[in-house]
Amino acid sequence: MGKHRRPGPPNQPSRAVPRIDTGDPLAAYDKRRRPPMDVHRRHRPVQGGAGHLRPDEARVLEEWNGFAYEPVGAAPNLAAAQVWVNELQIDSGPAA
């Protein structure tokens, strides 16, 4: 039994689940609208597969709209796609 137990005292809450503000009635709703891993922009190879193996292939640019990722454009290669992804982080942050 000791091998699979969570480390730490049993009177502490689990750290795996982020806390929700109990005073905010829309906190659970806002939590569901966050993108996975807090990534608001991402790029994917057009043909699929591992993106780092073929840096010269075209990329599909996707942006989080509050519910799912939607395609918003294309980039000719990995370098251009990475510049587009990092623009949001440098400018202002996620548009909500």
pLDDT at 96 over 50: no
Buried b (16+ CB within 10 A) or exposed e, 52-66: eeeeebbbbbbbbee
**Within 13 A of 11's CA, how many CA atoms are on the CB side?**
0
Stated as kind and residue range, the H or E segment containing 74 is strand 69-75
pLDDT, tens digit (0-9, with 9 covering 90-100), for 35-92: 777 788 889 998 887 777 888 899 999 998 888 899 999 999 999 999 999 886 655 5
Furthest-apart CA pair in the chain: how many Å?
53
